[in-house]
Structure 1
Amino acid sequence: MNNSNLIPIYAEIFLLVATSVILLIDMFLSEKQRGITYALSLLALVGCAVFTYADFSSGATTYAFNKMVVSDPMGNLLKLFTYLSVGVTLVYARQYSHDRGMLGGSLGGEFYALALFSTIGQMVMISANSFLSIYLGLELMSLSLYALVALRRDNTAATEASMKYFVLGALASGFLLYGMSMLYGATGTLELTEMARKIAAGTISPTILVFGIVFVVAGLAFKLGAVPFHMWVPDVYQGSPTAVTLLLGGAPKLATFAICVRLLVEGLLPLAFDWQQMLTVLAVLSLVIGNLTAIAQSNLKRMLAYSTIAQMGFVLLGLMAGVVGTDQTNASAAYSAALYYSITYVLTTLGTFGLIMVLSRAGFEAEELADFKGLSKRSGWYALLMTLLMFSLAGVPPLMGFAAKFAVLQSVLKTGNLWLTVFAVMASLVGAFYYLRVVKTMWFDEPTDTAPIKVALDKNIVLGLNGAMVFVLGVVPGPLLTACLHAMTATLAS
């Protein structure tokens, strides 16, 4: 095999070697030296970003390993934001994890190693062009996350969350694998682009294909946390250590979005009429149940879990708006809007859970809504940041969340689904209630916790940059929207 065949996976190879080296080095470090593992983990992500950005700048689409792996603009853009998400999570999680003994002992670096191994799995998912590579990446990511959720072995809530996540995650993987086996049996190929060509030829019975699509969509809905496959999301978000909750709710959503595009758009576009109907039902249910149930939550992590379910409803709306009958002229705009929405969700989620970790301390989890009472009197800066993030999630202009919702609704409206557009707007208005309740609690209630907030400089800087990105990319959404549109157009054309 010549070196040119390895170019699409240089970043994956680099991160695999780097993670193995970091794990080996960490064995010889004491608990006080664990900062070395933290620094090396961030450097490894920076190294990956260099390889991926070089590939992204070329704008080319290349295949490797008999077309099992693809490197294209959409995949490279998602990888860059994946590195950003994981890196920011590690910055936010450092002190939090240390205070809870997650970085102690001779194998304390396993938090960083598992986070990086899950990142490798996400990278494989994003670059997958075959059923085999999709499943390989999915399981590598999932197994790492199962272990991370259970990392606090002495914590009953974390152990219970890990068991729920493992059992339901295995069920989701089984659904997805069964659906892919049906599609393989019908088409005789594991390669997604080849499968699309064979389906488009019209020689395969649609019955078995639709049967396979049902299971594939169900498996993807599990991973996205869409209703009615959402049962694990609130329990796992609440039970996991907040640092792990962010590893679960951030970058993996980008990888799941990638395999949705790979499977449904690149592999099953000729059958778009069938899977778009399924996505519409999932989107409507997610928007209703996610927003209504979030109102009743007093635990902030649980509220944000139901918020995630509702946010995924908007992503599904973008994915179902690409094809109207046989007309694919709206495809690039709709899928790029869904891509932009996924990135927006991840950037905002990083900030919200980062602030929860900032307010937490040894022996105290700041995850109840009451813990944010009077935050403006304790720290106006953090209250302002949280306000920005809540407004963005609610879709208040001129923040990033508004630009994302507007782009998706615009794509849905182009399909002629006026009722669906109005419904999504009304669901967002319902969702605004529980976001604004957090803002009201911070600015108008009297504080019940008066402990001083001590935050490391690196975390303060990253939090500030995180908030600035949500604001600036909302005021000036053009560059990122253009990048998403260009990436999706180039990917669909390849």
Structure 2
Amino acid sequence: MIDKLSWISVYPEIVLLIMACVIALADLGVKSPRRTQTYLLSLLTLAIVAALQASYAVGGVTVYGFGNMVVSDPMGNWLKCFATIAVMVTLVYGRPYAADRDMLRGGEMFSLSLFGLLGIFVMISGNNFLVIYLGLELLTLSSYALVALRRDNATATEAAMKYFVLGALASGFLLYGLSMMYGATGSLDVNAVFRAINSGQIKHQVLVFGLVFVVSGLAFKLGVVPFHMWIPDVYQGSPTAVTLLIAGAPKLAAFAICIRLLVEGMLPLAIDWQQMLMVLSVGSLLIGNLAAIAQTNLKRMLAFSTISHMGFVLLGLMSGVVNGDVHYAANAYSSSMFYVITYVLTTLASFGVILLLARDGFESEEISDMAGLNERSPLYAGVMAVCLFSLAGIPPMVGFYAKLAVLQALVASGGVFHIGLAVFAVMMSLIGAFYYLRVIKVMYFDKPLTAGTMSAPFDVRAVLSLNGALLLVLGLLPGGLMALCANAVVQMLGT
């Protein structure tokens, strides 16, 4: 008998699942080539689900359901709320682009996006190895189909194949690692695994062997070096609307499963997995920033910049436990959570401008395509400049405060090694500033390649303006979001 609390813990997921099925069926009767009814119904569904998740998060209650397999806590609820908003914004930005490229012949883009979001929800809520893995597969299978949505486009099909092959390999890594942990601890329950490891009864070598595969699988999902091979190809090859779907909300889910598996399940092994994350973060910061300098394709440049930003997220995750002391954990993990949320917000706006610049039969993907954007549209040039300044970590944008929070968490640990890592991260950020500022120079000082102003639907203009303004407002007043992340992480650690 499933108790009432179990149903309450997954109520938003049930709403999303039912509506995703309803939208897929209702779309069969839609005749509009731009799928207006499907689009509006999808946005309405997402708005309701986001409101539900926000109300759960504000309630601040942690609920375990379905025999401890699912957890609904403030951290998970906030991440799910932000992921829902990210998908909502992506659909607003991506619909004109998708309609021009005949990607809305059926309503697959909307229904697959909703099923992908459901996978994100399951990943974030999972308190059991199998549940987390099922959520991961639901997200990745939806993503593979979305990347290949332009069936007549060879580049998109090639990107989908690369993504599928490498994604299957990474899923195998993660599954093998989880099976090793199950074999060692005798449980699939995250809390039971924590207790078993903490008891000290299990051979350390067996645990570390499984841990290597778990961290490798997680590293692929985050897209950090050396598991980053798919990111530049998939970002560049996918239709830009789908690139944004992959670049945005799934990053929140990847962060959540790192917390669920490594922090909630394997915190007694922190000394081992923190060393692994340190190597991954250093490699990501170095290769991500250096490789981005050489790019002329804007989407590919942003892909390499993503790799470096995920390196920053890992820096926060690896500074939570120092010499067995978990005193710094809340500060470190909340700074990482703040970083990943603000990174997704910035990514939405930057790809939103790239989607706006694309026209029927023309992909605005090269850095040279941004030439003279300020002359054609000061508003969109301003939004893109705010995004690039934020990604570079220049005040008063929110990206500066996000970087500062992670660096402060590193330095607070007091170790010489951690301080050295913070100095290295600052140096890499200086290199990163070069390729962001180069795009701003092209927008403001180069002559436009095409004459004429730019037009966009009202909903796109409104959401993009709000998105750009948020980057500045949160940079000036970051306290509210930082406190939200800190409270959510403290409650997660306390349960």
TM bucket, shorter chain? over 0.9
Give the match for residue 350 of structure 1. Answer: 348
Alignment equivalent of 2:112, drawn from 111, 114, 137: 114
Give the match for residue 419 of structure 1. Answer: 420
1:185 aligns with 2:157: no
SS of the equivalent of 2:273 reads helix
Q: Give distance in 1, aligned partners of 2:316 and 2:310.
A: 10
Q: Is the 8 A contact 2:377 2:453 kept in 1?
A: no
Give the match for residue 311 of structure 2. Answer: 313
Which ranges of structure 2 fall in alignment gaps of 5 or more residues? none
Q: Is the 8 A contact 1:31 1:103 kept in 2?
A: no
Give the match for residue 489 of structure 1. Answer: 490
Give the match for residue 66 of structure 1. Answer: 67
Q: Give distance in 2, aligned partners of 1:392 and 1:246.
A: 18
Deviations 1:40-82 (A, max 9, x none): 0011111112221221121011101111100001100101100
Q: Is the 8 A contact 2:50 2:82 kept in 1?
A: no
Query: Which letter does structure 1 place at the counterpart of 2:254?
Result: T
Query: Which letter does structure 1 place at the counterpart of 2:358?
Result: S
SS of the equivalent of 1:27 reads helix
Query: Which letter does structure 1 place at the counterpart of 2:112?
Result: L
Give the match for residue 38 of structure 1. Answer: 39
Give the match for residue 11 of structure 1. Answer: 12
Q: How does 1:39-188 map to 2 (within 5 A)?
A: 39-104=40-105, 108-188=106-186
Q: Give distance in 2, aligned partners of 1:50 and 1:343.
A: 18
Give the match for residue 330 of structure 1. Answer: 328
Give the match for residue 240 of structure 1. Answer: 238
C-alpha displacement at 1:245, in angstroms? 0.1
Give the match for residue 228 of structure 1. Answer: 226
Give the match for residue 338 of structure 2. Answer: 340
Q: Give distance in 2, aligned partners of 1:102 and 1:20.
A: 20
C-alpha displacement at 1:4, in angstroms? 2.4
Alignment equivalent of 1:209, drawn from 207, 210, 232: 207
Deviations 1:245-280 (A, max 9, x none): 000000000000000000000000000000000000
SS of the equivalent of 2:470 reads helix
Q: How does 1:457-472 map to 2 (within 5 A)?
A: 457-472=458-473
Q: Give distance in 1, aligned partners of 2:182 and 2:34.
A: 50
Q: Give distance in 1, aligned partners of 2:343 and 2:33.
A: 35
C-alpha displacement at 1:26, in angstroms? 0.4
Q: Give distance in 2, aligned partners of 1:5 and 1:160.
A: 42
C-alpha displacement at 1:429, in angstroms? 0.2
Alignment equivalent of 1:303, drawn from 295, 301, 304: 301
C-alpha displacement at 1:184, in angstroms? 0.2
1:393 aligns with 2:391: yes
Give the match for residue 2 of structure 1. Answer: 3
Give the match for residue 216 of structure 2. Answer: 218
Q: How does 1:369-388 map to 2 (within 5 A)?
A: 369-388=367-386
Q: Give distance in 2, aligned partners of 1:218 and 1:451.
A: 49
C-alpha displacement at 1:451, in angstroms? 4.4
Aligned residues: 491
Deviations 1:163-190 (A, max 9, x none): 0000000000000000000000000000
SS of the equivalent of 1:63 reads strand
Deviations 1:315-368 (A, max 9, x none): 000000100011001000000000000001100000000000000011000010
Deviations 1:1-30 (A, max 9, x none): 233221110011000000100111100111
Q: Is the 8 A contact 2:159 2:234 kept in 1?
A: yes
Which ranges of structure 1 fall in alignment gaps of 5 or more residues? none
Q: Give distance in 2, aligned partners of 1:259 and 1:32.
A: 38
Q: Give distance in 2, aligned partners of 1:330 and 1:267.
A: 18
C-alpha displacement at 1:33, in angstroms? 6.5
Q: Give distance in 2, aligned partners of 1:72 and 1:43.
A: 24
Give the match for residue 431 of structure 1. Answer: 432
Give the match for residue 362 of structure 1. Answer: 360
Q: Percent identity?
A: 60
1:452 aligns with 2:453: yes
C-alpha displacement at 1:92, in angstroms? 0.1
Q: Give distance in 1, aligned partners of 2:451 and 2:180.
A: 58
1:249 aligns with 2:251: no
Query: Which letter does structure 2 place at the counterpart of 1:291?
Result: N
SS of the equivalent of 2:68 reads coil
SS of the equivalent of 1:31 reads coil
Q: Give distance in 1, aligned partners of 2:167 and 2:32.
A: 33
RMSD: 0.7
Deviations 1:91-127 (A, max 9, x none): 00010000000002xxx11100000000000000000
SS of the equivalent of 2:35 reads helix
SS of the equivalent of 2:71 reads strand
Q: Give distance in 2, aligned partners of 1:118 and 1:282.
A: 27
Q: Give distance in 2, aligned partners of 1:66 and 1:95.
A: 44
SS of the equivalent of 2:10 reads helix
Q: Is the 8 A contact 2:5 2:64 kept in 1?
A: no
Query: Which letter does structure 2 place at the counterpart of 1:401?
Result: G
Query: Which letter does structure 2 place at the counterpart of 1:243?
Result: A
Q: Is the 8 A contact 1:340 1:480 kept in 2?
A: yes
Q: Give distance in 1, aligned partners of 2:290 and 2:360.
A: 33
Q: Is the 8 A contact 1:220 1:260 kept in 2?
A: yes
Q: Is the 8 A contact 2:224 2:281 kept in 1?
A: yes
Give the match for residue 403 of structure 2. Answer: 405
C-alpha displacement at 1:287, in angstroms? 0.2
Q: Give distance in 2, aligned partners of 1:462 and 1:46.
A: 14
Q: Give distance in 1, aligned partners of 2:68 and 2:447.
A: 60
SS of the equivalent of 1:70 reads strand
Q: Is the 8 A contact 1:102 1:111 kept in 2?
A: yes
Q: Give distance in 2, aligned partners of 1:54 and 1:331.
A: 26
Query: Which letter does structure 2 place at the counterpart of 1:87?
Result: M
Query: Which letter does structure 2 place at the counterpart of 1:399?
Result: M
Q: Give distance in 1, aligned partners of 2:323 and 2:41.
A: 51
SS of the equivalent of 1:450 reads coil
Q: Give distance in 1, aligned partners of 2:421 and 2:158.
A: 38
Q: Is the 8 A contact 1:8 1:69 kept in 2?
A: yes
C-alpha displacement at 1:373, in angstroms? 0.4
